Structure 1
Amino acid sequence: MARRRRYSRDPLGLRRALSGLLLPGLVCAMALLAALALAGAQGAAALAERWQRGAAAAVTVQVPDAEAGRLQRALESLRAMPEVAEAQAMPEDRLNALLRPWLGDAPAITVPGVIELRLHDARTDPVLIGDRLARDVPGALVEAHGLWVQRLAALARSLQAMALGVLVLVAAVAAAVVAVATRAGLAARRDAIEVLHGLGARDGYIAGRFARRLGLLAASGALVGTAAAVPALALLADLAGPWVGSEGRLASLAGLPWPGLLALPPVAFLVGWGTAQSTVRRWLRQLP
């Protein structure tokens, strides 16, 4: 009686034909790659946004012969400009630390004073600020970082596009792996399938049996792969925290692409289910 019940629940014997760990293991590895790609895409997007919002609005002013009077006049002139949100003189110790790799501890040249600006609008033309400042403080130079920020943002967008391309490639490989596993199961249970098909079993019934089994195997592999990726992604997020403006373990965990990670097992199930359905139906149409 127990055998009949098990047979009725699995008339094609798919638990035996598709019982290996190869498919879940491969999907697990691909889910791990997909999780890394998701994190990479989100990280690249966060970096691009941070650079465009923050560094693009930063401007540096150099004041030659920066005695206290000239530096103070430059600060007063800049702070009076409506385009300038903030103007602060860079501390001497910080400036020396930045120049130490090139000039050493005791530079032999006179170092100009440096003022850091933050503009209200990153689209403000720094040339106009430099022209007005030069009237009050002759020789002062304004340097904007907009060009470099645009290049870095373009690089971040390229990395994001590559990460999304990796996701598409992983999905395609997962579908190919499921198709191969489906054909192996069809070959292993060919006799039982032909008998059921000859007795009047519909194509949808047979394809549904395969689709459910392979979908569950793919989802289980994706679940394990996603769970294995979370600690590694949390560590990477913790290391990248200073670059994207978030620090701390909780911030690292909160910064993970949780919607995408949680979607990986259901998406793996859908890929396995859909691929098995189409593969089995094509195979059944070739039967006499």
Structure 2
Amino acid sequence: MARRRRYSRDPLGLRRAMSGLLLPGLVAAMALLAALALAGAQGAATLAERWQRGAAAAVTVQIPDADAVRLERAVAALRGMPEVAFAQAMEPERLAGLLRPWLGDSPAISVPGVIELRLRDSRTDPVLIGDRLANVVPGAMVEAHGLWVQRLAALARSLQAIALGVLVLVAVVAAAVVAVATRAGLAARRNAIEVLHGLGARDGDIAGRFARRLGLLAATGALVGACVAVPALALLVDLAGPWVGAEGRLDGLAGLPWAGLLALPPVAYLVGWATAQATVRRWLHQLP
């Protein structure tokens, strides 16, 4: 009786035909790659956003023929502007160190004074600040970093596109692996399938049994891969903390792409289910 109940729940013997660890292991490896791609995309976007905000808000002011009086007047004028959050003249020693690789220890040209300032809002137009400053200190020039902001934005978009391409490639490979496993199961249970099909079993019922079994195996593998990825990604986030502002283990875990990681098992189930459905139905249509 017990054997008959088990047979009724699995009339095709799919648990025996597809009981190995090969498919879940392969899907787990691909889920790990997908998790790394998700984390890479999120990390690139976070890092680029942080750098873009800093580069967009950072502005350099050059004061030709600078002396102590002109520099102090320019700094005072900048600090009095509501758009400026920070303004400070660069020390001569630091400026000389920055210029040394290009001009040497004793530059033959007159070096202008440099003031570093940071805007309260990165959307503020630096040109307007430069025009107002030039009225107070003639000859003052403002240099923004718009070009670097554009390059950082382009880099972030490129990295995200690469991550998306990796995810698509992983999904395609996973579908191919499931299709191969489905065909192996069909070959192993061909006689039983032909008997049931000849007795009037519908294609949807047979395909549904394969789809549920393959989907469950794929989801199990994706769950294992996602769990393996969590500690590795948390370690990477901790190491990248100084660059993105994350501190401590808790922040490292909080910085993971949890939405994507939690979505991996159900997405793997859907890929396995849909691939098995299509493969089995195509195979059944070829039966005499």
Fold shared, TM-score > 0.5 on shorter chain? yes
Written as runs of structure 1 = structure 2, the 5 A alignment for 1:154-165 is 154-165=154-165
Written as runs of structure 1 = structure 2, the 5 A alignment for 1:183-198 is 183-198=183-198
Cα 1:210–1:124 change in 2 (3 A) is same
Written as runs of structure 1 = structure 2, the 5 A alignment for 1:1-288 is 1-63=1-63, 67-90=67-90, 95=94, 99=98, 102=101, 107-109=105-107, 113-288=113-288
The Cα shift of 1:263 comes to: 0.8
The Cα shift of 1:180 comes to: 1.1
Cα deviation per residue 1:24-47 (whole Å; 9 max; x = unaligned)? Answer: 111011101100111111112212
Kept after mapping to 2: 8 A contact 1:211/1:274: yes
Cα 1:98–1:40 change in 2 (3 A) is farther
The Cα shift of 1:15 comes to: 1.4
Q: Which moved more, 1:219-228 or 1:118-127?
A: 118-127
Kept after mapping to 2: 8 A contact 1:48/1:157: no
**Unaligned regions of 5+ residues in structure 2, if any?**
none
Aligned-partner Cα distance in 1 for 2:238–2:19: 39
Kept after mapping to 2: 8 A contact 1:74/1:136: yes
Aligned-partner Cα distance in 2 for 1:148–1:250: 32
Cα deviation per residue 1:110-132 (whole Å; 9 max; x = unaligned)? Answer: 87554222224434332333343
Aligned-partner Cα distance in 2 for 1:249–1:205: 48
Kept after mapping to 1: 8 A contact 2:58/2:116: yes
Aligned-partner Cα distance in 2 for 1:213–1:62: 69
Cα 1:101–1:280 change in 2 (3 A) is farther
Cα 1:101–1:266 change in 2 (3 A) is farther
Give the residue type in structure 2 aligned to 1:206. I
The Cα shift of 1:101 comes to: 8.0
Cα deviation per residue 1:111-162 (whole Å; 9 max; x = unaligned)? Answer: 7554222224434332333343234334544221111111111111111111
Aligned-partner Cα distance in 2 for 1:285–1:250: 54
Cα deviation per residue 1:207-236 (whole Å; 9 max; x = unaligned)? Answer: 111111111110111111111111121122
Give the residue type in structure 1 aligned to 2:101. W
How many percent identity over aligned positions?
83
SS in 1 for 2:70: helix
Aligned length: 286
Cα 1:245–1:101 change in 2 (3 A) is farther
The Cα shift of 1:18 comes to: 0.8
Aligned-partner Cα distance in 2 for 1:250–1:66: 49
Question: What is the TM-score when the length of structure 2 is the normalising length?
Answer: 0.89
Q: Which moved more, 1:262-271 or 1:108-117?
A: 108-117
Question: What is the TM-score when the length of structure 1 is the normalising length?
Answer: 0.89
Give the residue type in structure 1 aligned to 2:180. V
Aligned-partner Cα distance in 1 for 2:249–2:89: 34
The Cα shift of 1:100 comes to: 8.8
